[in-house]
Copies of this chain bind each other. A is one copy, B any other.
Amino acid sequence: MTQDRTQSSPEDSLIARYFKPLATDPGAFGLVDDAAVLSSSGDDIVVTTDAVVEGVHYLATDPPDTIARKALRVNLSDLAAKGATPAGFVLTLALRSKEDAWLRPFADALGEDAKEFACPLLGGDTVSTPGPQMISITAFGRVPQGRMVGRTGARPGDRILVTGTIGDAALGLDVLTGGAAAAALATDPAAREALVSRYRVPQPRNPLARAVRDHATAAMDVSDGLAGDLTKLCAASGVSATVDVTSVPFSAAAASLVARNVACVETLLAGGDDYEVLCTVPPAQVDALMAAGRAAGLAVTAIGTIVAGKQGPRFLDGQGQELVLRRLSYSHF
């Protein structure tokens, strides 16, 4: 029970010192109010919320600037997959301490990302906790009325597309926690760094949001593992899928670890934290989405096809044999 009642309200000065500079939107009222305003514009407001917990979603040893970026970017990734343009976010910060050495780089990096992605801080709450730190962000985006891209629109014949590469973040976590990938890459600091950075700082695909909105029948971001997330999308749409595993895009570092039997394909397909966009697109519109990807400097890869049926997606190897995945995704419970 913290009962630190003081005249000067250090909670308010903490907010003023670190977070007021991020509240650039007029609807944030410079963080002096209890509430913010998202102004009316005729658009629908897309709302998404994702929390990151120390020791669960990030490591206590992760640098504070990467923690800030991850906390915001996992939400930006949801907005990208929904076809929404970022409009702002609110932040709940459960802190053990208010050390400047942690808060300064955290707030600075959060401000940089807020600016880069045009997603200003609108408000928030800072609370003290004796336990692990937690950052909960609710982010807002705009889409024209009725145009949010859901999970339920995938239809048989649609092609399944995914951005970027899959499985790097899971391998980055393996490196950070001293797993097999750490040993295998002991003499390759560049590959280690590339994988670790995919774990710590996701690259949300917001530049593709407009094209996803224009061309995808269903979309979601890959946060809990490609296999499990595709399973959820298929279930929501009442369809099944066939995935050609040899088409799934792996980075050079990931492919090399698979070739050396350090990692197995299943780990990559079920690994979390990719924050790529997974979407289904009618064949006639695949070229347009891929062109939008090229324009954004972003790889977009077709990995399979939606088929009729109620069973889970089938993952086929190079010989057309089905891989039976023991795990599909990450789950908290």
Q: Which residues of A contact B (CB under 8 A)?
A: 1-7, 9-12, 14, 29, 32-53, 55-57, 59, 78-79, 81-82, 84, 90-92, 94-95, 98, 122-132, 134, 136, 138, 140-141, 143, 145, 148, 150-152, 177, 220-221, 224-225, 228, 232, 236, 270, 326-333
Contact = CB atoms under 8 A, between A and B. Distances in A.
Given A44-B39, A145-B39, A9 B129 contact: no
A37 B327 contact: no
Given A331-B6, A332-B11, A37 B46 contact: yes
The 3 closest A-B pairs by CB, nearest first: A131-B131, A138-B138, A38-B45
A132 B52 CA distance: 15
Contacts of A94: 51, 53, 134
Given A81-B34, A328-B7, A45 B48 contact: no
A328 B8 CA distance: 9
A35 B79 contact: yes
B12 A232 contact: yes
Contact of A9 (B136, B141, B331): B331
Contact of A47 (B36, B79, B148): B36
Nearest to A29: B150
A174 to B, nearest CB: 11
A35 B48 contact: yes
29 contacts: A1-B59, A3-B330, A4-B331, A12-B331, A33-B82, A34-B78, A34-B220, A35-B47, A36-B46, A37-B46, A37-B148, A38-B44, A38-B45, A39-B44, A40-B45, A40-B145, A45-B45, A47-B140, A49-B91, A51-B136, A56-B128, A56-B129, A92-B136, A94-B134, A95-B333, A98-B333, A126-B332, A129-B134, A130-B132
Contacts of A91: 49
A196 to B, nearest CB: 15
Contacts of A34: 48, 78, 81-82, 151, 220-221
A201 to B, nearest CB: 19
Nearest to A83: B35
